[in-house]
């Protein structure tokens, strides 16, 4: 399965469900990508300036595969990973337990095959979302992973939420443990609905189930934990939020897995505004870099689904552009139909 195939499927199915006469070509998209590729490019840019992330391992080498549509406008960035499955390397922080303790878990989705002769339970392992936005003259279509969502529209919030101002769930959670806790926080259980059919599409490994409901972008959350003696690492956090237009950020201050407080930031918070002002030059540079990449592809004749090229960065120095030989085409590239749909 190609990395961006679920995005195309989700757009197509959702627009049909809404009854829209929708064509991607009408959207005039300049950049189609997942957030991960944009984050890698911003790390490359930041590494050459004052916003460099000083933490060990923050500037890792990467490769991004690129295709330029024959319209000369749409640039598709595809992740190129040697290992598509993330392997555990031991303790990696308390983020997972924080998510587990502060969010509702949807019940397994009951599904049946096309003939309704077999029933299965599908449990969610993650949630992704697609957003479209305009930035400095370029229109982006970005897929990204979502940590959580508010169950109701977000109210106006201050940048730091004191313990006496936390909502009911957070108040119950504060000063509990992020180590596999014995304290069980009561969370509502959602009732499972009738089984939904699994839909197969010819010539594709990807199957889908039509389920769920649309939610507002204002309900999307980013969650994180940090040691209580440290400051929010905005050089890392803010690009994550900005490049997916995620409006709310909640960070738990903890000591050895015990939470002292949870801070909430929105785009009206001082911390978020200061981060944007400081990092804005890097986003300007990102736009210029993407335009240069597009111009290089056009000048070198690297246009169309069968003329891909790659971006490579070793973690230091310059970003290199390399043509991909026909015998070395990655499997995760967009098909001709997908690329030309723009």
Read off the pLDDT of residues 148-193 as tens digits, 9 standing for 90 and up.
998 765 444 434 433 444 344 444 444 445 555 444 555 555 555 6
Per-residue model confidence (pLDDT) at position 284: 97
Count of all residues that appear for the chain in the document: 342
How far is 27 from 132, CA to CA, in rounded Å?
A: 9
Q: What is the mean pLDDT of residues 274-299?
A: 97
In the predicted model, is pLDDT for residue 25 greater than 90? yes
Return the pLDDT at 58: 63
pLDDT of residue 81: 74
Percent of the chain predicted with pLDDT > 90: 53
Phi, psi (degrees; rounded to nearest 5) at 118: -140, 135
Nearest-angstrom CA–CA distance, 9 and 42: 28
pLDDT band at 126 (very low <50, low <70, confident <90, very high): confident
Do 45 and 292 form a contact (C-beta atoms < 8 A)?
A: no
Q: Number of structural domains, the chain? A: 1
Distance CA 4, CA 333 (A): 8
Q: Nearest Cα to 170, choosing from 270, 253, 268?
A: 253
Name the band, by pLDDT with cuts 50, 70 and 90, for residue 51: confident
Q: How far is CA 74 from CA 131, 166, 210, in A?
A: 16, 44, 29
Average pLDDT value for the chain: 84
What is the mean pLDDT of the segment spanning 249-262? Answer: 88
Q: Which helix (H) or strand (E) holds 64?
A: strand 62-68
Could you tell me which residues come within 8 angstroms of residue 160 by beta carbon, excluding any fewer than 6 positions away?
261, 263, 264
Cα–Cα–Cα angle for 74, 222, 168, rounded to 5 degrees: 150
DSSP string of 76-108, one letter each residue: EEEE--S-SSPPP-S---SHHHHHHHHSPPPPP
- Residue 12 Cα distances to 19, 126, 272, angstroms: 11, 20, 34
Q: What is the pLDDT of residues 214-241, one digit of tens each?
A: 889 999 999 999 998 899 999 999 999 9
Q: Which of 267, 235, 264 is nearest to 249 (CA)?
A: 264
Number of C-beta neighbours around residue 329 at 10 A: 14
Domain of residue 48 covers 5-340
Give yes or no for a contact between 76 and 32, defined as CB atoms under 8 angstroms apart. yes
Encode pLDDT of 305-342 as tens digits. Answer: 999 999 999 988 999 999 998 767 777 899 999 999 99
**3-state secondary structure at position 24:** helix
Cα 253 from Cα 85, distance rounded (Å): 29
Task: Place 134 in a pLDDT band, splitting at 50, 70 and 90.
Answer: very high
> What residues are paired with 255 via a beta bridge?
258
Farthest CA pair distance, the chain? 62
């Amino acid at each position: 399965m190609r990395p961006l195939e679920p995005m195309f499927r989700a757009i197509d199915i959702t627009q049909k469900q809404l009854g829209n006469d929708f064509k991607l070509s009408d959207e005039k998209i300049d950049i189609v990508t997942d957030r991960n590729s944009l984050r890698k490019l911003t790390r490359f840019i930041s590494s050459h300036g004052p916003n460099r992330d000083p933490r060990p391992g923050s500037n890792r080498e990467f490769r991004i595969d690129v295709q330029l549509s024959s319209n000369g406008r749409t640039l598709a960035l595809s992740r190129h990973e040697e290992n598509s499955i993330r392997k555990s390397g031991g303790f990696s922080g308390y983020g997972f337990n924080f998510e587990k303790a502060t969010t509702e878990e949807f019940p397994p989705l009951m599904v049946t095959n096309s003939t309704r002769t077999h029933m299965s339970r599908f449990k969610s392992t993650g949630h992704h979302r697609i957003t479209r936005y305009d930035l400095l003259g370029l229109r982006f279509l970005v897929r990204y992973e979502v940590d959580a969502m508010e169950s109701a529209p977000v109210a106006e919030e201050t940048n730091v939420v004191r313990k006496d101002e936390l909502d009911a769930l957070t108040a119950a959670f504060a000063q509990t443990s992020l180590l596999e806790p014995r304290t069980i926080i009561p969370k509502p259980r959602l009732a499972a609905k009738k089984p939904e059919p699994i839909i197969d599409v010819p010539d594709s490994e990807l199957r889908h189930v039509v389920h769920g409901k649309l939610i507002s972008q204002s309900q999307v959350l980013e969650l994180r934990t940090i040691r209580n003696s440290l400051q929010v690492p905005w050089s890392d956090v803010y690009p994550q939020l900005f490049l997916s237009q995620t409006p709310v950020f909640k960070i738990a201050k903890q000591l050895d897995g015990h939470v002292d407080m949870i801070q909430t930031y929105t785009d009206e918070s001082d911390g978020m505004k200061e981060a944007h002002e400081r990092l804005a030059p890097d986003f300007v540079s990102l736009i210029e870099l993407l335009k240069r990449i597009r111009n290089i592809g056009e000048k070198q004749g690297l246009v169309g689904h069968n003329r891909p090229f790659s971006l490579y960065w070793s973690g230091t120095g310059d970003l290199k552009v390399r043509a991909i030989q026909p015998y070395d085409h990655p499997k995760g590239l967009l098909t001709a139909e997908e690329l030309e749909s723009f």
